[in-house]
Each structure stands twice: as structure tokens, then as C-alpha cells.
């Protein structure tokens, strides 16, 4: 695992486009903050990934007082549906990052389709920028790379609804491992 340092001195790659686009709703601070973690975990930069026949989805949960949790869903080259789950040890993002748990789960077609349905309910390529902000709690980031486009959106402590449903389904799959 690549070692990164305190976010204030980090100058690694950015995981979201630096220029605003029609389907990317991630601010400059969040881009730097999230990129710091994803780079340390050797996650791919989705908007730069080659186009595949199936979507790539990354759902990242950044908690105020514990390490973030990253879920990445994609089909591999052999057609298997994989869900990678990573949790880090860094609290609040202000120190070196190490993954303390990395798990790859094989999902059956029913589980995979259920997650895609929940992602589509969030409408990541059509949702407006977030208006609700805060300090404690958590922020969720959803990225979707399809054959047609790349979309990224974030929410701070989302209201009950599609975001909560997606998180609950992913957490349930993680707990069943």
C-alpha cells in the first residue's frame, strides 16, 4: 500500500475532475480530502478508467470520528460481480492512512442488480448539488462510471430515502461476509 501523509501537505492525484462538469458535483476541498484517502488505498481514478460494458460504482462514507469506508462495485473481466469493501484506521483524515480491512465479495446477479437499482434511485447524474452542510456526522460520495458518462455527487448526512437505502444494503452485504 502506498503511504500518504497529512492532507495539508499532500499533492497526489485528484480523483474527481478539477473542473466542474454537468455531472460532477464535488467541491475543491472534498476533491482533495477524498482523493487523499482513495490514493492511499490504491483505488482507481474512476473518471480516467477505460470504458467497460458494465458500470463501475464507488460509494464512500466519510465519518467525522472514525475511518472512512469505501465500497466499489464492478464486474471483472470474467463476468463476476465483485464488491470491494475497505475501511481505514485514520480518524478524521489527519495522518498516515492504512487499510485495516479489505474484503472482496462475489455477488450473485440478484445482489448486483439490487445494488444497481438502489444507485439509480439516488440519481447521481441528475441530482442537484448538496445544500445541507455540517461539521459532525458523515459525508457520502457516490461515483458512477458507465459507457456513456462519469458522475459524482456527495451528500452530508442524507435524509431518509435512496441514499440511506443504498448505504444500508451495502452495509448488510459487508456484515454478511
* Rounded CA separation 121/98 (Å): 32
pLDDT higher than threshold 90 for residue 117: yes
Q: Of 134, 132, 136, 152, whose CA–CA distance to 27 is shortest?
A: 152
- When divided into structural domains, the chain yields a total of 1
Does residue 2 form part of some domain? no
Q: What is the pLDDT of residues 1-30, one digit of tens each?
A: 444 444 555 677 888 887 666 677 787 778
Question: Domain span at residue 158?
Answer: 7-175
Q: Are 72 and 43 in contact (CB under 8 A)?
A: yes
What CATH number does the domain containing 161 carry?
A: 3.30.1560
Does residue 38 form part of some domain? yes
* Rounded CA separation 13/149 (Å): 20
Does residue 117 form part of some domain? yes
Q: Are 116 and 122 in contact (CB under 8 A)?
A: no
Selected residue with higher pLDDT from 134 and 29 = 29
Selected residue with higher pLDDT from 9 and 65 = 65
Amino acid at each position: 500500500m502506498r503511504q500518504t501523509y497529512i492532507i495539508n501537505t499532500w499533492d497526489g492525484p485528484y480523483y474527481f475532475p478539477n473542473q466542474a462538469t454537468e455531472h460532477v458535483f464535488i467541491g475543491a476541498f472534498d476533491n482533495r480530502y477524498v482523493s487523499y484517502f482513495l490514493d492511499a488505498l490504491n483505488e482507481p481514478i474512476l473518471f480516467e478508467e477505460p470504458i467497460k460494458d458494465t458500470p463501475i460504482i464507488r460509494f464512500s462514507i466519510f465519518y467525522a470520528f472514525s475511518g472512512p469506508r469505501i465500497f466499489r462495485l464492478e464486474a471483472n473481466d470474467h463476468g463476476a460481480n465483485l464488491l470491494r469493501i475497505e475501511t481505514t484506521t485514520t480518524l478524521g483524515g489527519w495522518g498516515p492512512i492504512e487499510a485495516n480491512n479489505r474484503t472482496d465479495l462475489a455477488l450473485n446477479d440478484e445482489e448486483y442488480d439490487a445494488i444497481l437499482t438502489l444507485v439509480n434511485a439516488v440519481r447521481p447524474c441528475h441530482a442537484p448539488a448538496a445544500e445541507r452542510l455540517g461539521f459532525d456526522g458523515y459525508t457520502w460520495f457516490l461515483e458512477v462510471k458507465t459507457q456513456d458518462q462519469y458522475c459524482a455527487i456527495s451528500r452530508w448526512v442524507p435524509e431518509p430515502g435512496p441514499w440511506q437505502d443504498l448505504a444500508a444494503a451495502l452495509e448488510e452485504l459487508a456484515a454478511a461476509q
